[in-house]
Amino acid sequence: MSTLQVLQQLPLLFRYADVQKFTGNANVFLTRALKRGLIERLTRGVYINSGIKGMPRIEEAACFIRTPCYISCEWALNYHGITIQAPTVCTLVTLSTAVGEARRIAWHGADIEFSRIAERLNERL
């Protein structure tokens, strides 16, 4: 299967494991596709099929990185028109402990940041 055929089979946002299903050597495939500008690396193990399928919205990309999570804080307020102030940080709430400044991801002029919520609070939602 050619590189373009594999990319047509992959969704807009995909993981390393998705590529392994289509190729014999996912590392070689991803390295070559990145060099050719066919895909973009969002974070470790997470890629965007930008050459074939375009770019996702930041909310879609952010929620794909770590699940379960949801958009919160200023970004959600702005998205729903409650505030007109444009935020620069897309904050997501997750159960994961990998949160904070060190886990912040810069992406197309905005930052994606994860905050942790206690599991007992998540059960009430």
Interval 7-26: pLDDT, tens: 999 999 999 999 999 998 99
pLDDT in tens, 47-96: 999 988 999 999 999 999 998 899 998 999 999 999 999 999 999 998 88
State the pTM of this model.
0.85
Enumerate long-range contacts of 83-89, CB under 8 Å, 24 or more apart.
Answer: 89/113
- Asked if 20 contacts 26 with a C-beta cutoff of 8 angstroms, the reply is yes
How many Cβ atoms are within 10 Å of 36's Cβ, its own excluded? Answer: 10
